[in-house]
Structure 1
Amino acid sequence: MLTFLRYLVAAPLLVASAAGVPIACQLLSAYTLRRWRDTPFDVGAELTERLTEYDGFWPIPLALVLFVVLWRTTTVWPRIALLPSGCIAVGGLITAGFTELLSTVAALAAPLVAWTLAWLAARVVSRPVTGDVRRSPAEVGVRLRGGGRLRVQSRRLLLDKLPAPVHAAATVNRVALRFDRITHVEVGNALTPALWRFANSSELTVTPGPVLRIIGGGQEWLLPCDNAEELHRLVTERAAVRAQADPRPPLESSRWDLAKPLWSLNGDPAQRNTQKVQNGQHWLLVMSALTTAMALFSVYRVFTTSWGYLIGVALFGGIGYGTARAWWSFVTSQRLAEENPRSPLADDPDPRHLPVTGWSSSPVALGHMSDL
């Protein structure tokens, strides 16, 4: 019930970020134009005209759909909000030509305002981390000391924003661990700085202070974070509630093509990698969204203008479907590589061994934390 109320409060902020900000920016641009031409300005008529015509407003419904589809992935909400406001801002700058100060300022401020509103919505859903958040599927992002970010998702832990892998053969710059494969979680302390290498060969500096240690799926993570005890409780409680088995495909499947190069990364390479590994192939998803929107517009034109727009429906629809399918195929292989940077046949590290010099385990005191 509390989770529902959080989303109920966040919903107006998301709608305002995706629709309110770009519409307000467009209306302000229209107002300055009317004032420059010394013609009357009717808010209702202008709003109706812009919402009933194809005038660059297709990103708004697209962003709203993405919010619904990615309702659990709160860390991407600010980036989704940038889609409509960014498009409107570019159009506003071109229209204003940097001559209308008010329109120019509005166009520049629109993406910042939209991003902030979506960020606030994400904070409403994921903070503070009380019992309802720990048991919910809503993503919680945690910044780590020394770089990197842990994303506690619905079914897994995802570690991103890591330094570039030291091996050029590394195929992913993120690692993940499903809740059903976690075998050991403990809070410890690092007494001296240390360098920790993850299974994809990304290295993170473990600075002195509290550290969360997680073992499972053949991996061992050391996560330096100031709120290690709270994070320990979040991970263990969500794992107990949300863990779900996910059978892996046979090892001869082509879906392992991105994961298999990671299994043979051992030691330091002769020459360290200096290039950032690209992940996600987001350009395919963007192209699919753009061409799908154009296909839907062609469908609209078929019923309002001419049957000749069927060519646009077939062309843009085919491109949209093909790029979406290619993106999904890559994403499924990438997800498998992130969750299996070690071979499924590999054993888990022994939790009795000290992971780094200067490591000390510490008891976890949970009694003083609220369970609301």
Structure 2
Amino acid sequence: MLTFLRYLLAAPLLVAGCAGVPIGCQLLSVYTLRRWRDTPFDVGAELADRLTEYDGFWPIPLALLLLVVMWRTTTMWPRIALVPSGCIAVGGLITAGFNELLSTVAALAAPLVAWTLAWLAARVVSWPVTGDVRRSPAEVAVRLRGGGRLRVQSRRLVLDKLPAPVHPAATVNRVALRFDRISHVEVGAVRAPAVWRFANISELTLTPGPVLRVIGGGQEWLLPCDDADEVRRLVTERAAVRAKPEPRPPLESKRWNMAKPLWNLDGDPPQRNTQKVQSGQHWLLVMSALTTLMALFSVYRVFTDGWGYLIGVLLFGGIGYGTASAWWTFVTSQRLAEENPRSPLADDPDSRHLPVTGWSSEPIILGQTSDM
């Protein structure tokens, strides 16, 4: 119930960021233009035009639709808010020579305002981390010392924003661990700087201080975070409530093609990596969304202007379906590689061994890096 109230508080911020900011910039642009031409300006009529005309500002409903689909993934909300405001900023740059300075400045500032509102909405939902948040599906992001970010999602942990993998054969730049595969969680500390290599061959420098240790799915994570005890509680409580087994495909499936190259890289020495790891292929999703909207618009024109627009329905609908299918195929393979950078047949690391030199199962005070 408390989580529902958090979403109610966040909803006005999201609507303001995704719809209020771009519509406000549009109204300001029209107002300055009408004032320059000395023509009347009716706020109600202009607002009604923005909300009702069929060829209106399509990025707004697209952003709102994405928010509904990704209502649990709070880290994506600021990016989604940039969809309509980014278009406003581009339009402001193009028309900078025709609009007044105030309108141009407002258009250029729109992405920053929209991003801030969406970020605040995400903070309202996920922080502070209380009992209702720990048991809810809402994503909670935790910054790590030395780089990296832990995202506690509905069914799994995701570790992203890591340094680039140190091997050119690495196929993913982040790793994930499903709650149902976690076998061990503990809080410890490192007393001296150390380098930890994750299963995707990314290396993170562990600075002295509290560290969260997570073992499962053949992986072992050492996560340097200052609130390690709170993060451990978040992970264990959510895993107890939200863990749900998901069967893996047969090892002969082509969906493993992105994961298998990682299984034999654990013992390889670091190499100079000049290749950029692909992540998400978001351009396919954007292309699919745009062509789908054009196909829906063509459907509307079929009923209003004749069957000639059926060609647009078939053309844009086919492109939208094809790009969406390609994106989904890539994402499912990538997700499988993130969750299985070790072979499903591999055993979990032994929780009794010392993962790095200077590891201690007892917490230490920051700055206390030796026993002397």
Q: TM-score range by the shorter chain?
A: over 0.9
* Matched letter for residue 352 of structure 1: R
8 Å CA contact retained: 1:210, 1:225: yes
Per the TM alignment, residue 88 of structure 1 is displaced from its structure 2 partner at its CA by 2.0
Task: Report what 1:184 is aligned to.
Answer: 184
Per the TM alignment, residue 98 of structure 1 is displaced from its structure 2 partner at its CA by 6.6
What is the alpha-carbon distance in structure 2 between the residues aligned to residue 99 and residue 269 of structure 1? 58
8 Å CA contact retained: 1:166, 1:274: no
Per the TM alignment, residue 270 of structure 1 is displaced from its structure 2 partner at its CA by 7.1
What is the alpha-carbon distance in structure 1 between the residues aligned to residue 236 and residue 363 of structure 2? 15
What is the alpha-carbon distance in structure 2 between the residues aligned to residue 91 and residue 270 of structure 1? 46
What is the alpha-carbon distance in structure 2 between the residues aligned to residue 94 and residue 233 of structure 1? 50
What is the alpha-carbon distance in structure 1 between the residues aligned to residue 45 and residue 20 of structure 2? 17
Per the TM alignment, residue 91 of structure 1 is displaced from its structure 2 partner at its CA by 1.7
Task: Report what 1:162 is aligned to.
Answer: 162
The RMSD of aligned alpha carbons is 1.4
What is the alpha-carbon distance in structure 2 between the residues aligned to residue 38 and residue 255 of structure 1? 63
Query: Residue 357 in 1 paired to residue 354 in 2?
Result: no
8 Å CA contact retained: 1:301, 1:309: yes
Query: Residue 92 in 1 paired to residue 92 in 2?
Result: yes
In structure 1, the gaps of 5 or more residues are 365-372
CA 1:155–1:270: 2 relative to 1, 3 Å: closer
Which digits, 9 at most, give the CA deviation of each residue in 1:102-146, with x for residues without a partner? 111110111111111110110000000000000000000000000
What is the alpha-carbon distance in structure 2 between the residues aligned to residue 214 and residue 56 of structure 1? 49
> What is the TM-score when the length of structure 2 is the normalising length?
0.95
Q: Percent identity?
A: 87
* Matched letter for residue 310 of structure 1: L
Question: How many residues get paired?
Answer: 364
* Matched letter for residue 248 of structure 2: R
What is the alpha-carbon distance in structure 1 between the residues aligned to residue 193 and residue 270 of structure 2? 25
Task: Report what 1:312 is aligned to.
Answer: 312
Task: Report what 1:220 is aligned to.
Answer: 220
8 Å CA contact retained: 1:56, 1:88: no
Which digits, 9 at most, give the CA deviation of each residue in 1:208-234, with x for residues without a partner? 000000000000000000000000000
Task: Report what 1:368 is aligned to.
Answer: none
Per the TM alignment, residue 306 of structure 1 is displaced from its structure 2 partner at its CA by 3.1
Query: Residue 3 in 1 paired to residue 42 in 2?
Result: no
1:226-237 matches, within 5 Å, as 226-237=226-237
Task: Report what 2:288 is aligned to.
Answer: 288
Per the TM alignment, residue 34 of structure 1 is displaced from its structure 2 partner at its CA by 0.6
1:272-351 matches, within 5 Å, as 272-351=272-351
* Matched letter for residue 305 of structure 1: D
* Matched letter for residue 208 of structure 1: P
What is the alpha-carbon distance in structure 1 between the residues aligned to residue 54 and residue 97 of structure 2? 22
* Matched letter for residue 188 of structure 1: G
In structure 2, the gaps of 5 or more residues are 365-372
What is the alpha-carbon distance in structure 2 between the residues aligned to residue 49 and residue 95 of structure 1? 21
Per the TM alignment, residue 196 of structure 1 is displaced from its structure 2 partner at its CA by 0.4
